[in-house]
Structure 1
């Protein structure tokens, strides 16, 4: 062990710096071992995949070597909430404990910052409701006081408010250095700060967007670093597919039209010329959306290719876009903002043409598919996507060019103690691997209950049977439960069946996620029903949550066009798509859901699952062996006894 690695280990020891400086710090052997392994990887500029079971304390385990390394480090997290927690809470505590004079910076994507130009533009807009007027007034008041311009500071405005796009920029509508507010721009200042920082905290969306831009040769957003630490790394393969893909949507055209009308209204004569083609574009988009009523909400491009009316409507939108672009070009030089609208129209039209031109071409059976082309409908329009089949090559190329240490960590990376599936997706050849089990006392802290006589998950009576089995569990626990579902349809059905029961009910979709969680915690005996977004990134420690009930094994929807293409690709090379693709993804998702239950050494709880495939199918063993080693039972009396027992 080198002197520096020993220093990292000592800081996390039972009588080390953190134990002396941080109130409530508890020595964990698993945390110290993880930190040592991370330090060695940083020293050797190696790639490390490290699964750290819940309770290991992985955040401190990587922050200590990051801060003591003396190198430039980029730390990327799974969500903006985790990013804020890391930067505002964890990082300052460890910096103070270690007395390290390290300059750190927080950097988010541009949509998270107030755009002063867009805000000024919005002052002349007519808002659709009194609520939006009040929200905009709140933004204006805050804008005069904020130093960072981080929209997360406006926590009183809902996350899904229509006000956000009106006061933030996108890569499409940003004026760049031509903007009259360039010298005051919050995003520019945040990027400048990041360029000079020793440690930069970002999220995967920003990191991957930057890597994707580098592939296109548009320059570097994030500063070069010697160390990349990716927390919640299980999310990276799926997110990377999005960022290395291409998409174009009718919403982008509608937003562009809105900006054109706003800007042309300030220029004499421009509005008269540009309003008709903008209105014509809006009409064509409306007609396209109406024609799409005959196809599923999401599907492969080939589905659209069979519908002559949709093909005509797609072509009509393209023609309207061409007319709009030609009219915009006649206004060249009228204003910086209008010239930027012209550039946006040109880029959108190019993507629209490329996507639609492929509808008339037959795929070549001898050429491996590079990207999956698919569509998705929204209430008012359509998004056309091209998602790459594989991102391992560009990710490997970037990693090799960086010559940096790469640390990928999460509580859920391994499937039956193997991380091969993740390594393959990320193009990692022979990485270092550490699978660090959770230090929790699973034998005494938890119980895994699989009810007897449950119907098959495909049974129309499944949700009723699940709730019949769940009610005695909820009675034994006094509520205090998460019910996690693999579909929104099952969630809604369960909500109706549980309505009016003895436990306060909190249902995803009825309020913002953080508000629901807060109300659930405060209720004392609540039952929260959630789908995908509640399976991970949700932390309810203590007595408020003592039961997690999961309806089915979380296999991805079989109608997903990208998944379908990937499964077909595995088949063509002679592999087993179910075992190679579907099982590993479902195991990781299940581990995330189960991970909501035990969050601290004091927590106790029961995991109940309704899916009998765990014991009736051979692959059930893979799921069970990947979960924490709970005692297992099929008897409800064991659940009652668990809750009747007072912990030592």
Structure 2
């Protein structure tokens, strides 16, 4: 059956038909049998002025529409096109509501027709796209998009996008289409009958068993079997030979002395069983600097090299860019595997189980199931990082991700296809294992070995190690962590796991189970009530303390507490309730686990689904016990070497408070459990030294006693020609004026700089609050659409997505904090100016910082010079490193913090940078100098 689709795009005077906004341009394209068969476009006289921001966005002005037809004049033509067709648009409800509004206005009856939303279809079928705006999808698919935000061009591109999406849908395997069908009826797009016809046509065809693995009514992409490299082909080589090969295989490759020196040092450390600390400036090429000698050593010794990074971005770069390059140039074969924590991987057993449950009408859950069904035909790894999921999808992921507590291992019907176990088996047979700091240090404290046995490891982005180890050896809990688990056990709609558990017990006639679970419902209610009261009381303590010590206008409250505080009268009711909750939890969980244990004798009578369910139930009961143990730890403060604190949102829910504990120092943990047990650990980063010394890092990580080799390798970039540091003398310090005055001054200064640089500016903040206020103030200064402002926390999306949007638009300015100080790479003309609003000191009252400072002071040290300043310098160097990313980059760095030039310690920040020209003048003189320099 041939269907007709009419793709519509309207340009309008605003976003709301209900508020009187009108259509100013129509683009309509008809599609039949995969071909464009008709086009129609026209301007429309809206009868109201076109607002300036719409004119700026679309390029359509009042002059262009003054002689255009009214909507009622073109309505017959449009209705004729739409007769018997599907109404298709990119964000369909926007265009459909405008059409209905205009039809009402012109006296026509409202339409009723099937709809297709190409945003929704793209999110379901184009899982690798960076974003789902029409322009981004056009770039992704290589579709020509001549005039974005003009209806005729947008409709044309949307029509071509629709053709691609329908082809993609049609090419999915029969098993995938059949699995999708139950979830399609809950989507916005009317795809049921389209997919029904595709299924009817496919039923006659043979399945594509070369591409897909068909199992239990699901189609999975076939993954090539892992082939271990041969030890017999290992060939020794000289480094010059590899550099010759690199010149042949890499564009613009230059032999860099720093990189050659790094290869030599890493090789020496690995062969002499020494640890190495090596700072490699931007542009050194440190990944090849450690991979070349590291892979050679792994093959030579026949044991794996582990490379650990902090960011997913760097892991992907190593696997997708560096490893394929080295496979081409090394004179021997080697294998490499990326292994992450198991929560990154889909559990196929759990996912299959959710596909049988059609009770939930939640749109996000149904849409995410549809996404994942399609994703199984494309993914070889089952790694969630490949997906772009909305917040509702992320909640669903928590129910289907792999985890140790609910794994059936070899008893699982999916075991041979399990993404996590396949990746783990491959890692155990690989020469090179790429992982992240989180998994590396989870493995360090885990009883079950997660990584293959290794003696040599490279820690890239090593300046993050202290923070990651501190997190992994700490604890945290909150009310919602308990509620999430409790709700799965006993949901209010009667569909909880304990009801299913009782049904299975009845079915198999498990003796005495009713006796064991007799008080379960009462105990469940008691536990929930006690936990509810515990966290309400803790939040009250936090709010009272905040009132007595500082302004409660702060939205986020942080309160450090000690064993002495816990022993005070205010905490007595909390501790009594915690003791009762712990008792109730034990009485709740232990009988249920006893009944579960008795299922061993019913193994042969259980279905696969029942076995999986029982393992999931046991996992949740174990998780509850673990949460309760953590809560007891956090409320008893048993360790003098830990710091304890709570955080609460002053205006959040009444029990919204989180408790934390972290070790004050991790040096001894690392010295004993890590550095003392490994033959060679290579620590590298672009930012590890302070005042040309590694003493700060070595002390913090427990490396001093090991006497590591150390080296600083300079960047090959010509900073004296490529960069300029500018420090305004007339921007006040934040403690000299109120925040409103400060924000007004920095916003006007940023605006003047942006006019010179034409946007292309990254602005780094140390606080979200100031970022938001500056974003608002800057917006009020500029003309409509003069600059494209992209702000972390204001605009939605991941760091990678915000960065890509920044690169897509001319005249764009990116406001970022925290994660934007490092790990983002914007080479070339996209970034010409970096502004650092304040020197990045950690607040002295931050609990871990305060505890470390107290310890240092007690030992006779200086908390500012020994801790705060070195930390801030390393952070500052990370921020500075965002500007010059290649030998062809050029730009200016502004620092809006006079402490850099007016304090004794300020020169330490300048000394930490590569040698470059520094200008210290009032902001207007600096802007003028920047203008001359840019030209």
Give the TM-score normalised by structure 2: 0.63
Query: Match for residue 724 of structure 2?
Result: 447
**Secondary structure of 1:606 counterpart:** strand
**Matches of 2:749 and 2:359 in 1, distance apart?**
53
Greater shift after overlay, 517-526 or 169-178?
A: 169-178
Aligned residues: 630
| Counterpart in the other structure of 2:906 | 620
Deviations along 1:537-582, one digit per CA (max 9) or x if unpaired, are 1111111111111111111122321211111000111110111111
Please, which of 494, 497, 522 is the counterpart of residue 808 of structure 2? Answer: 522
What SS class does the counterpart of residue 395 from structure 2 fall into? coil
Please state how far the C-alpha of 1:455 moved relative to its aligned partner. 1.2
| Residue 494 (structure 1) aligned with residue 494 (structure 2) | no
Q: Secondary structure at the match of 1:473?
A: helix
Would the alpha carbon gap of residues 628 and 643 (structure 1) be closer, same or farther in structure 2, given more than 3 Å must change?
farther
882, 886, 889: which one aligns with 1:596 = 882
Give the Å deviation of 1:394: 2.5
1:644–1:416 Cα change, 3 Å: same
Partner Cα distance (1:292, 1:125) in 2? 39
CA displacement at 1:37 relative to structure 2 = 1.4
8 A Cα contact 2:338 2:423, kept in partner: yes
Q: CA deviation at 1:59?
A: 1.2
Q: CA distance change for structure 1 residues 644 and 6 in 2, over 3 Å: closer, same or farther?
A: farther
Shift in CA distance, 159/577, structure 1 to aligned 2, threshold 3 Å: farther
Q: Which of 399, 413, 427 is 2:702 aligned to?
A: 427
Native 8 Å contact 2:364 2:393 kept in 1: no
The yes-or-no answer on 1:300 pairing with 2:575 is no
Q: Is 1:511 the counterpart of 2:800 in the alignment? A: no
- Asked if the contact 2:345/2:383 (under 8 Å) is kept, the reply is yes
2:681 paired residue among 406, 411, 416: 406
What is the match of residue 501 of structure 2? 267
Q: Is the 8 A contact 2:277 2:710 kept in 1?
A: yes
Cα contact 2:368–2:393 (8 A) shared by 1: no
Which stretch shows the higher mean deviation, 149-158 or 458-467?
149-158
Residue 830 of structure 2 aligns with which residue? 544
Deviation (angstroms), 1:336:
3.6
1:50 Cα deviation (Å)?
Answer: 0.6
CA distance in 1, matches of 2:380, 2:844: 47
Distance 1:625 1:229, change over 3 A: same
Are 1:192 and 2:425 counterparts?
yes
Task: Give per-residue Cα distances to partners, 1:258-283, cap 9 Å, x unaligned.
Answer: 34344323233579964554454444
Cα distance, 1:566–1:597 mapped onto 2, change above 3 Å? same
Equivalent residue number for residue 633 of structure 2: 354
1:138 Cα offset (Å) = 0.7
What RMSD in Å do the two structures reach over aligned CA positions? 2.8
> Does residue 1:415 correspond to 2:690, yes or no?
yes
Deviations 1:400-427 (A, max 9, x none): 5544221110000011111111111111
Q: Which region of structure 1 is more displaced relative to structure 2, 284-293 or 542-551?
A: 284-293
On the 8 A contact 1:482/1:528 being kept in 2, the answer is yes
Q: Where in structure 2 are the equivalents of 1:547-562 lying within 5 Å?
A: 547-562=833-848
In the other structure, the counterpart of 1:322 is 586
1:592 Cα shift?
A: 0.8
Q: CA deviation at 1:435?
A: 0.7
Give the one of 653, 656, 666 matched to 1:391: 666
Q: In 1, are the aligned partners of 2:766 and 2:817 still within 8 Å (CA)?
A: yes
2:578/2:632 contact within 8 Å kept: no
CA–CA distance in structure 2, aligned partners of residues 137 and 414 of structure 1? 49
Residue of structure 1 aligned with 2:260, choices 14, 20, 32: 32
Distance (whole Å) between structure 2 residues aligned to residue 28 and residue 111 of structure 1: 40
1:131 matched residue in structure 2: 364
C-alpha displacement of 1:630? 2.2
Deviations 1:500-522 (A, max 9, x none): 52211001022212221111101
Structure 1 pair 154/272, CA: closer, same or farther in 2 (3 Å)?
A: farther
Q: Distance in 1 between matches of 2:481 and 2:595?
A: 21
1:147 match: secondary structure: coil
1:56 to 277, 280, 284: 284
Please give the per-residue CA displacement for 1:141-185, whole angstroms capped at 9, x wherever unaligned.
323553321112223556983222122134455455565544432
| 8 Å Cα contact 1:486-1:554 kept in structure 2 | yes
C-alpha distance in 1, partners of 2:853/2:260? 40
CA distance in 2, matches of 1:8, 1:43: 15
- Indicate which of 238, 243, 250 corresponds to 2:479: 250
Q: Name 1:438's counterpart in structure 2.
A: 715
Residue 373 of structure 1 corresponds to 644
C-alpha distance in 1, partners of 2:701/2:310?
16
Residues in 2 aligned to 1:157 and 1:471: alpha-carbon distance in whole angstroms: 34
Q: Deviations over 1:607-646 (max 9, x none)?
A: 0111111112111111111122221112344554444446
Q: SS of the counterpart of 1:440? A: coil
Structure-2 separation of matches of 1:571 and 1:637: 43
Tell me if structure 2 keeps the 8 A contact 1:273–1:327.
no
The Cα shift of 1:451 comes to 0.6
> Cα–Cα, structure 1 residues 135 and 273, in superposed 2: closer, same or farther, change >3 Å?
farther
| Residues in 2 aligned to 1:337 and 1:611: alpha-carbon distance in whole angstroms | 54
Shift of 1:386: 2.5
In structure 2, the residue matched to 1:169 is: 402
Match of 2:762 in 1: 482
Change (3 A) 1:159 1:476: farther
Q: How far off its partner does 1:121 sit?
A: 4.3
SS at match of 1:265: helix
SS of the counterpart of 1:331?
helix
Alpha-carbon offset, residue 310 of structure 1: 4.5
Deviating more after overlay: 155-164 vs 200-209: 155-164
Distance 1:289 1:247, change over 3 A: closer
Whole-angstrom CA distance in 2 between matches of 1:188 and 1:273 = 39
Mapped to 1, the partners of 2:379 and 2:643 lie a distance apart of 43
| Distance in structure 2 (CA, Å) of the matches to 1:249 and 1:160 | 22
- Return the structure number with greater relative CO, CA threshold 8 A, min gap 6: 1
Q: Is the 8 A contact 2:275 2:681 kept in 1?
A: yes
Q: Cα offset for 1:485?
A: 0.4
SS of the residue 1:450 aligns to: strand
Taking a change above 3 Å as real, the CA distance of residues 143 and 264 of structure 1, as seen in their structure-2 partners, is: farther
* Shift in CA distance, 120/304, structure 1 to aligned 2, threshold 3 Å: farther
Q: In structure 2, the residue corresponding to 1:252 is in which secondary structure?
A: helix
Residue 252 of structure 1 and its aligned partner are, at CA, apart by: 3.3
Q: Tell me the equivalent position of 1:291.
A: 537
Residues 201/399 of structure 1: CA separation in 2 closer, same or farther (3 Å cut): same
Separation in 2, partners of 1:137, 1:412: 44
In 2, the alpha carbon distance for the partners of 1:5 and 1:566 equals 50
Larger radius of gyration: 2
Aligned to 1:10: 240
Matched, 1:140 2:373: yes
Distance, in Å, in 2 between the alignment partners of 1:163 and 1:135 is 7
Distance 1:9 1:401, change over 3 A: same
Find the aligned partners of 2:788 and 2:272 in 1 and give their Cα distance.
53
Residues 12 and 32 in structure 1, CA contact (< 8 A), matched pair in contact too: no
Distance in 2 between the 1:57 and 1:330 partners?
57
Instruction: After TM superposition, give the deviation of residue 399 of structure 1 in Å.
Output: 3.6
Aligned to 2:461: 232
Q: Distance in 2 between matches of 1:305 and 1:558?
A: 26
